[in-house]
Structure formats: structure tokens, C-alpha cells
């Protein structure tokens, strides 16, 4: 197992990776690989921001052409998405660099190996599924690292299966329902004076990308708005379009069975249905779906730049050739912190939102159903008696037998988490749509992307004013004063921490030792068998669990420390570290948004 790590102070090194450090992060960028496996196992982990809480949450993407910058873009999206949903978790993402044509057994082995690489980061990162991985892969991660170390697990692990339940796609339809209620208020906005809002039975929808998000968005559209019409849908093979509406149940069934619904499947799809063959348009050019018009467009393909004013960013479609829509609800992850992409996004929105009068609901405000569902697996904790025994981890056969023995209780836990996820998703997305319209009406020059970012950032800033050291502290290794330098150094490397606490027989704090202490000991040629009490710091500055983040930040800055132990009643209960320093800029960032744009 090997890794190279970069933090927020490694500005030049991160810039070479295409990552720009800003007020929000990143907190950690790690390049990981397995030197011992016969398979090529490696990839990246980005923990962008932990201001909302620990750990960060975000999926594992698995593609052959991933880069650290791409994973950082996705991690930043998770920071904003978790904040918009007011989830007490940071934003993170990881990626496995692997061929897309792996055999099932090799795929499982690669995921298994990557799970082992992630194990040391489980205090700050919880993975779920993403493009190239699925709920079953999260079973593999959980078998390796424990039930509380993976999200969106199968139901027999107590999981909330976001792909199976259509958590993200369902959020897009909830957003559509909410906007039908909120959009009449926009008629006072100069860009929307001629806005026409249909009743639910007159709503028409296009879905770019009939995959895990798009297919479930269609299914939920049919369930929640049965009279609405899905006019068009695309996948990698092409697109289907019918002014009479496509048969959603049949489309969904074909997708479940085949994974694709257009081109070769187009003709069989409509046979025996009420849709006339002559009214169906079947094309082998998937991007051309965006030439069609409808009330709502849901971009749900894994394409960040589905629309632009010109071809410079190689978008799916340019604005001048695009159809007409009243609202765009972004099911795909489109956000990027990259300055050039932010400028391109602003140009697109000025054209589409201001000039065309199309409302844009930014991705992390509406497709957060996946992380909301996944978060319930951490919010509703796994009872101690339903955690896989430590000695079984990594043994698929033994874990399988243990899961069978606890199947009923785990399925009950999964159902409890599902219901909580559905209720919270509905509440969060409706509130986001209300606040989006509020902010657009508050300032007619504000773009939807600016309003969306403001929603997330002000939640981070508001959350910080109420949070304490107990809310964000992490685990700290405890050692005795008699531990040797060699033993302590090995523990420090294993846990990936910058500090460990030295405790006495009563488990009360006696001192601390940091990675810098080891550097000085090495420079002084201190023998490795020397007890650490000879180099530890005895006069320790500490924080209390109830200290506000402002108090903790002042202590860190005043003393120039990177971390502080958190002590209660003389006993060490955790550690807070300098990643909190990123929060100093949040208020300035929030205050400067309007002036900046």
C-alpha cells in the first residue's frame, strides 16, 4: 500500500494537478496505489471540506481516465450538496483508475483492493457508489472495512441502496413539483414576464441520460405526476422522441433488463403500445435530444457541460441550436470550482436564464437525494449488536453467514433508514427550490449558479457559528509513556495522524507527541528504543468539547499549532486539527459573492 498526500498548504503541487486551493479547500488530496497486487489497483481520494462535520461523504467513481482535478471537482460538488441539504458531513470523493471492461471477478478484486487503500481514511471519508460502481460494490467495501465504512449498501446490510431506490432521480421530480408551485412568483422578474406554467397534467419532460438517475426520474415522474409526458430520452446509443409521450413503464423495464433503451431497442419498444410508430423519432445522435423542446429538461448523463454558448468546451449542445425549455433541473453533477469552467457556466446562464427566461436548478440543490439517503446510514447508527465482528472483516464467506443470521434485524434497519431518507429528501429539496426563487427575486442580476452557491455557503457559515469542538473532533491515538519511539512512529504512520496523546495509568493526559517530535528525534539520532516520555511535550494546550470553533481557531492560531487534543475531566476524548482554519474565509466568501458577480 502506498500513497502521496497533499494538503491545503501545498498550493504549487496541487496546481500542477490542476487543483486550485481556495477558501473551502481541498483539505486532503491523496494518490493511492497497491504495490503488491497482481492487478493494477490505484486512484485518488479528495476530502474537500470538513466544515459541516466529519466524515466527508461522496461516491467512488471508477473510470479509466480519471484525474485528481476531476475528483476534486466532484468533491467540491459534494461539499456544496451536503451543505445545501444541511447534512452534518463534509464533502469528499474518490476515484479508481481502471479499465471499463474488467471481468466481474477482477472488478470485485479491484474494488476490494481500493477499499483497503481507503481504510486508513475512514475517520474522514465514507464512500458510496458513483459512475462505474454500484450498491453491490459497497457490500465489498463494507466486508473489508465494516458496515459503518460504506454507504448505499444492500438492504441485507441495513443499507439505503440509492441506485435501487432512485434516490437522486426522485429528487429531480420533487424539485419539478416544487418549482411548479414556486415559479409563478418569478413573473415579477424581467426575464420571466411571459412565463407560462402548465398544470401537472400538461407538463412535458426531456431526460438526457436514461441511466441510474434518469430512469428513476422517469419512473417517479410517472408515479407522482401520472398525466405528465416524457417526450424524449437519450442514452449512449441515441435518443427517442415522441410528441405523444413515451411509455415510461416499458422504457424503465427495458432499461432494467438491457441497460439501454434507444436505437436498436427503439422499434421493439413501441410495438404493442399506444404510441404510434410514425410519431416516434429514433436517432443515433444522443446529443441531438437537446434540439427538442419541452417544459422541463433533466440533464442526467455523466456530462458536466451539457450546454454552452459555443463549442469551446465541447458541450452536448450550443445554446443557439438548443430547444426551448422553461426549466432545467440538473440530475447530473455539473458544478466545478475551476475558474475557467465557472466563467463558462456564467456565460451559459446569462444566455439561457437572462435572455431565454429558462430557470436553472443547479445540480447540488436537486440531485442530493442520493447523499441524503446514504447519510441516513450514518445518522441512524448501526447498533453495536449489528456490526460485523472485527475478526471477520475481509472474509466474505464468514461475513455472508453472519449477515444471514442477522438478516431480519438488518432489513428492519434498512426500512427505517429508507423512510427517513424519503421524508428528509422531500423537505430539503422543496426548501432549496423556495430559497432559490427567493434569492433570484432578491437580486435580478444574480444568476442561478450564484444563488445556489450562496445557499450552500451560508449554511456552512451558519453551521460554524453553532458548532463546538465536540462536533468536529476526530479520533486520536493513545499511548503510554513507556512506548518506544519505534513503536510510536509505526502507530503514527498506521493511523495517518499528526499527533498522539500520551496517557498515564488512569488514562489521563500526560503529554503529546507529534510528527515534528519524531523529526527532531531522528535529527538528534535518538535510539529507536527510547521511551517517548523523553521527547513528549508535557505542557499541553488543550480544548474542551464545549469550546466554540472560534475559541479553538484562536488557540490554534495563537500558538501556531496544527492540532489540539480535546480533554474532558482530564481524559482525552479527541483531537481538532488545522483544517478548521479554512472556515475563517467562509464569512468573507459569503459577503463577497454579490459584489464579485
What does the DSSP assignment read for 400-417?
HHHHHHTHHHHHHHHHHH
Report field, pTM of the whole predicted structure over 0.85: no
The one-digit pLDDT tens for each residue of the chain (597 residues) are 688 999 888 899 999 999 998 878 899 999 999 988 899 999 999 999 888 888 999 999 999 999 999 999 999 989 999 999 989 899 999 999 999 889 999 999 999 999 999 999 998 999 998 889 988 999 999 999 999 899 888 888 998 887 788 889 999 999 999 999 999 999 999 999 989 999 999 999 999 999 989 999 999 999 999 999 999 999 999 999 999 999 999 999 999 988 888 875 565 555 555 455 557 888 899 999 999 999 999 999 988 899 999 998 899 999 999 999 999 999 998 888 888 888 999 999 999 999 999 999 999 999 989 889 989 988 898 898 998 998 999 899 999 999 999 999 999 999 999 999 999 999 999 999 999 999 999 999 999 999 999 999 888 776 666 667 887 787 888 999 899 988 888 887 777 677 889 998 888 899 998 878 888 888 888 998 999 988 888 888 999 998 887 788 778 877 777 788 999 988 899 888 765 444 444 444 444 443 444
pLDDT of residue 475: 80
Q: Looking at the DSSP assignment, which residues form a beta bridge with residue 511?
A: 502
SS3 476: coil
Q: Which three cell numbers mark 567?
A: 480533554
**Whether 459 contacts 439, CB under 8 Å:** no
314-353 burial code (b ≥16 CB/10 A, e <16):
ebbbbbeebbebbbbbbbbbbbbbbeebeebbebbbebbb
Cα dihedral value 353, 358, 361, 363, nearest 10: -80
Residue 396 sits at φ, ψ, to 5 deg, of -60, -40
pLDDT of residue 582: 46
Q: Which three cell numbers mark 217?
A: 426520474
Q: List the alpha helices (DSSP H) in 119-247.
A: 135-145, 162-165, 167-182, 212-224
pLDDT of residue 579: 55
**Whether 293 contacts 265, CB under 8 Å:** no
* C-alpha dist (Å) from residue 209 to 18, 172, 262, 329: 28, 13, 11, 13
Phi-psi region of 146 (alpha: psi -120 to 50; beta: other; left: phi over 0): left
Amino acid at each position: 500500500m502506498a500513497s502521496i498526500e497533499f494538503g491545503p498548504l501545498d498550493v504549487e503541487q496541487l496546481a500542477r494537478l490542476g487543483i486550485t486551493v481556495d477558501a473551502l479547500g481541498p483539505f486532503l488530496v491523496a494518490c493511492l496505489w497497491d504495490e503488491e497486487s497482481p492487478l493494477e489497483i490505484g486512484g485518488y481520494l479528495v476530502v474537500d471540506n470538513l466544515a459541516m462535520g466529519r466524515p466527508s461523504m461522496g461516491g467512488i467513481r471508477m473510470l479509466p481516465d480519471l484525474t485528481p482535478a476531476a475528483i476534486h471537482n466532484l468533491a467540491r460538488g459534494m461539499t456544496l450538496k451536503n451543505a445545501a441539504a444541511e447534512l452534518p458531513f463534509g464533502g469528499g470523493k474518490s476515484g479508481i483508475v481502471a479499465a471499463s471492461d474488467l471481468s466481474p471477478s477482477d472488478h470485485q478484486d479491484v474494488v476490494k483492493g481500493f477499499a483497503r487503500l481507503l481504510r486508513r481514511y475512514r475517520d474522514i471519508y465514507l464512500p458510496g457508489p458513483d459512475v462505474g460502481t454500484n450498491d453491490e460494490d459497497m457490500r465489498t467495501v463494507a466486508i473489508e472495512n465494516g458496515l459503518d465504512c460504506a454507504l448505499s449498501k444492500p438492504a441485507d446490510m441495513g443499507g439505503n441502496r440509492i441506485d435501487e431506490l432512485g434516490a437522486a432521480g426522485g429528487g429531480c421530480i420533487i424539485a419539478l413539483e416544487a418549482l411548479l408551485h414556486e415559479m409563478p412568483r418569478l413573473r415579477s422578474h424581467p426575464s420571466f414576464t411571459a412565463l407560462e406554467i402548465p398544470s401537472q397534467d400538461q407538463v412535458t419532460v426531456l431526460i438526457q441520460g436514461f441511466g441510474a438517475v434518469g430512469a428513476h426520474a422517469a419512473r417517479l415522474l410517472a408515479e407522482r405526476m401520472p398525466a405528465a409526458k416524457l417526450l424524449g430520452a437519450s442514452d449512449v446509443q441515441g435518443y427517442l422522441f415522441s410528441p405523444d409521450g413515451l411509455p415510461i413503464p416499458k422504457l424503465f423495464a427495458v432499461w432494467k433488463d438491457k441497460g439501454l433503451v434507444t436505437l436498436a431497442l427503439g422499434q421493439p419498444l413501441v410495438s404493442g403500445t399506444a404510441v404510434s410508430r410514425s410519431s416516434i423519432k429514433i436517432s443515433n445522435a444522443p446529443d441531438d435530444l437537446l434540439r427538442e423542446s419541452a417544459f422541463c429538461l433533466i440533464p442526467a448523463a455523466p456530462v458536466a457541460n451539457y450546454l454552452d454558448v459555443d463549442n469551446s468546451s465541447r458541450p452536448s449542445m450550443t445554446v443557439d441550436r438548443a430547444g426551448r425549455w422553461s426549466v432545467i433541473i440538473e440530475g447530473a453533477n455539473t458544478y466545478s470550482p475551476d475558474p475557467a469552467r465557472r466563467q463558462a457556466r456564467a456565460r451559459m446562464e446569462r444566455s439561457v436564464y437572462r435572455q431565454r427566461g429558462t430557470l436553472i436548478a443547479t445540480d447540488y440543490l436537486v440531485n442530493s437525494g442520493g447523499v441524503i439517503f446514504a447519510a441516513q446510514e450514518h445518522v441512524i447508527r448501526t447498533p453495536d449488536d449489528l456490526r460485523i465482528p472485527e475478526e471477520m472483516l475481509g472474509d466474505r464467506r464468514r461475513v455472508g453467514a453472519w449477515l444471514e443470521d442477522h438478516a431480519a434485524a438488518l432489513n428492519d434497519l434498512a426500512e427505517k433508514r429508507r423512510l427517513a431518507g424519503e421524508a428528509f429528501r422531500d423537505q430539503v429539496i422543496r426548501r432549496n427550490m423556495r430559497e432559490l426563487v427567493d434569492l433570484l427575486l432578491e437580486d435580478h442580476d444574480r444568476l442561478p449558479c450564484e444563488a445556489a452557491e450562496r445557499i450552500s455557503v451560508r449554511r456552512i457559515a451558519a453551521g460554524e457559528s453553532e458548532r463546538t469542538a465536540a462536533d468536529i473532533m476526530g479520533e486520536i491515538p493513545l499511548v503510554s509513556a513507556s512506548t518506544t519511539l519505534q513503536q510510536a512512529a509505526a502507530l503514527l504512520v498506521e493511523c495517518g495522524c499528526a499527533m498522539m496523546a500520551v496517557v498515564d495509568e488512569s488514562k489521563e493526559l500526560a503529554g503529546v507527541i507529534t510528527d515534528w517530535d519524531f523529526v527532531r528525534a531522528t535529527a538528534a539520532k535518538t535510539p529507536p528504543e527510547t521511551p517517548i516520555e523523553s521527547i513528549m511535550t508535557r505542557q499541553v494546550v488543550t480544548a474542551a468539547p464545549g469550546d466554540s470553533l472560534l475559541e479553538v481557531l484562536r488557540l490554534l492560531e495563537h500558538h501556531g499549532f496544527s492540532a489540539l487534543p480535546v480533554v474532558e475531566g482530564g481524559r482525552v476524548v479527541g483531537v481538532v486539527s488545522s483544517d478548521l482554519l479554512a472556515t475563517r474565509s467562509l464569512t468573507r466568501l459569503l459577503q463577497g459573492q454579490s459584489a464579485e458577480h
